[in-house]
Structure 1
Amino acid sequence: MKALVLAGGKGTRLRPLTHTSAKQLVPVANKPVLHYGLEAIRDAGITSVGIIVGDTGNEIREAIGDGSRFGIDVTYIAQEAPLGLAHCVLIARDFLADEPFVMYLGDNFLIGGITGPVKVFRQSDYDAQILLTKVTEPRFYGVAELGPGGEILSLEEKPDRPRSDLAIVGVYTFSPAIHEAVRAIAPSARGELEITDAIKWLIDHGFRVHSHLVSGYWKDTGRLQDLLECNRIVLEGLEPRILGSVDGLSEVTGRVALEPGAIVENSVIRGPAIIGACAKINGSYIGPYTSIGAGCVVENTEVEYAIVLEDSTLRGVSRLTYSLIGRNVEVTRSEGLPNTHQLMIGDHSRVQVQA
């Protein structure tokens, strides 16, 4: 069995961060989202992995390499434009050959892994298996409507008026029958080959399609609130470790991971929280559900429920919360009068300030 991981796409909902970085490499608890998916695939016993890449392909290649450090063998497949999930299957035909495979969306986050669903598929004669979970805003996802016996009645991609609250999780399992389906469908109104249309084609032509309800935690990390929530969930299960240095004037409580080379001085850290390697925390408060990346400097600042990427500086900020701060960013206090906010912000940004 093989795996096809989708790591293309533009990540428009996380701009401006994704103008310069792949959305699949945004970290949760200081580890890229894509790493969690590759580890789940490996743990399910799959080692041959094709990764679909687009504009950020060079960054993905640099971050993943040949896959050996994950215990997998990686083949990269370039997609010229984001033309739909079914298009990814189409261009990966040579790699996939005639083997069954898992298709895994690289920006998805699924607690508990995929070992169970993969085992069910391997022991069955299904031609496709989709995972479903209940969500509060189904219009943002592919949606499935099930009959009283669990049969799939309909599938819609991001419908304006969803027929159910069951979102299609970004992990699919297919037999080689899917190759006929993706060749048979036409692009949707948004110009993409939709995987939901390919699955509907399988159902309409008598192939066996199974739905599996996921009880564990799942998120598509394409939005800020989902990314912060994933960070919270992972930090809840954090194993405490103090591998850096903490001075006698500091207080570290709860589940806190302090990576090698990190320095904490005259500060309070209340977990769950993770402080990356060689980060420096001075005169600051780091509150729960916060990830501080490697090489960051946090001075005279209060921050909680936030993700700060590596090599950024927060200095003199009275309160920062519910935030995602990119790499090599400076957030500092303006000195002198008048007491103003001074901002240099890129396109598609969002900033909230207290008047």
Structure 2
Amino acid sequence: MKGVILCGGLGTRLRPITYSMPKQLIPIANRPIIFHIIDSLVKANITEIGIVINGKEDIFKNVLKEYENKDISYEFIYQNEPLGLADAVLASERFVKDDDFIVILGDNFYEVNLTSLIKDFYHTSSSCSILLYEVEEPHKYGVAEVKEDQVLNLEEKPKNPKTNLAITGIYIFDSNIFKGCKEIGPSWRGEFEITDSINWLLYNGYKVTYKILKSLWIDLGTPGDILYANNYKLSKIKSNINGLIDEKSKTWGNIFVGENSKIYNSIVRGPAIIGNNTIIENSYIGPYTSIMNSVKIIDSQIESSIILDKCLISKVSHVVDSSIVGSNSTITSNNSQKKANSFVLGMDSNLILY
């Protein structure tokens, strides 16, 4: 079985971060979202992976260097335009050939035993298996109507959903899905929907099964979703200090500190993760904070935030809270009296707080 990760789309709800980087590369606990997906595939012994993109190839290549010397192979698959999930799946046909394959949307964050899903797929002898999740607002998702162990029908973002079973964006297919992708037309949204392709399988006598996920699943569409996933991942880290924490500093909870990082006269409350070559001085780092590499934080307070590479945060005496700060950004303060600040900054931002 092969793996296909869909990394197209514009990520408009995550702007301005996604003006400069694909949303699949935003870090969760200092690892890009796509790394968490690749790791789950490798854990299920899937080592041939196709990554569907429609831009920013150089950025993907640079980030994915981490996997070059590992026991997996990956290749980029090009979708000329973001015309919908069915179009993205169809773009992978040459890579997949006649093999079975698992498709995962690149903005999914989950705790799923993929090995168990694959075993169920083969046990049921189906052409397609989809993973479902019970949600409170099903009209925002693709929704499945099911009976016993089989899917009856799928509908994309229905006004009056028949169930609360949302399609998570994790699918297992055999090569028959390509027939469905070729037969459908664009939906009312102007996209080639994967739900329509799966319905084609249903209407043409192919078996479609499902599993309902009871553990964690998040569709990472907004900054709040990113921060929630980050908090969840940090809640599971273990302490590992590879850098320097001086005797004037105090720490509580589980804290990861990367190589060549230095913490002087500061308070760090875990869970928190600090990358490599980072300096924290005269500052407070609160729980659920992820700080990437080559960052400088001086005379400042931060908690429950994600700070990307090469940022400088200086003299921010009030708390930077629930924020995402793009790489190479600078935040300084000029006697602000606010108790807390929350924001999302894109790459190379320069913010002065008054």
Question: What's the counterpart of residue 104 of structure 1?
Answer: 104
Q: Scaled by the length of structure 2, what TM-score is found?
A: 0.91
CA change 1:146–1:250 in 2 (3 A) is same
Any gaps of 5 or more consecutive residues in structure 2?
A: none
CA change 1:346–1:243 in 2 (3 A) is closer
Q: Indicate the RMSD between aligned Cα atoms, in angstroms.
A: 2.5
Q: Scaled by the length of structure 1, what TM-score is found?
A: 0.91
1:169 aligns with 2:168: yes
The more displaced of 88-97 and 192-201 is 88-97
Mapped to 1, the partners of 2:157 and 2:263 lie a distance apart of 46
1:285 aligns with 2:301: no
Q: Judge conservation of contact 1:107–1:221 (CA < 8 Å) in 2.
A: yes
1:219 aligns with 2:201: no
Mapped to 1, the partners of 2:80 and 2:249 lie a distance apart of 52
Q: Judge conservation of contact 2:17–2:346 (CA < 8 Å) in 1.
A: no
State the 1:71 CA deviation: 2.5
1:12 aligns with 2:12: yes
State the 1:164 CA deviation: 2.7
Question: What's the counterpart of residue 273 of structure 1?
Answer: 272
Mapped to 2, the partners of 1:259 and 1:252 lie a distance apart of 15
Question: What's the counterpart of residue 334 of structure 1?
Answer: 334
Question: What's the counterpart of residue 323 of structure 2?
Answer: 323
Mapped to 1, the partners of 2:276 and 2:227 lie a distance apart of 21
Q: Aligned letter for 2:49? A: V
Q: Judge conservation of contact 1:66–1:75 (CA < 8 Å) in 2.
A: no
Q: Aligned letter for 1:333? A: S
State the 1:151 CA deviation: 3.7
State the 1:56 CA deviation: 1.8
State the 1:346 CA deviation: 7.4
1:84 aligns with 2:71: no
Mapped to 1, the partners of 2:313 and 2:196 lie a distance apart of 47
Alignment of 1:113-192 (within 5 A): 113-147=113-147, 149-192=148-191
Q: Aligned letter for 2:238? A: E
The percent of aligned pairs where both chains have the same amino acid is: 37
Q: Judge conservation of contact 2:15–2:346 (CA < 8 Å) in 1.
A: no
Q: How many residues matched?
A: 346
Secondary structure in 2 matching 1:154: strand
CA change 1:123–1:72 in 2 (3 A) is farther
Question: What's the counterpart of residue 40 of structure 2?
Answer: 40
Q: Judge conservation of contact 2:18–2:346 (CA < 8 Å) in 1.
A: no
State the 1:23 CA deviation: 0.6
Q: Judge conservation of contact 1:142–1:156 (CA < 8 Å) in 2.
A: yes
Mapped to 2, the partners of 1:294 and 1:141 lie a distance apart of 36
- Deviation by residue 1:138-193 (Cα, 9 ceiling, x = unmatched): 3332222334x254343222334433322211110001111111111111122211
Q: Aligned letter for 1:211? A: Y
CA change 1:40–1:316 in 2 (3 A) is same
Q: Judge conservation of contact 1:8–1:57 (CA < 8 Å) in 2.
A: no
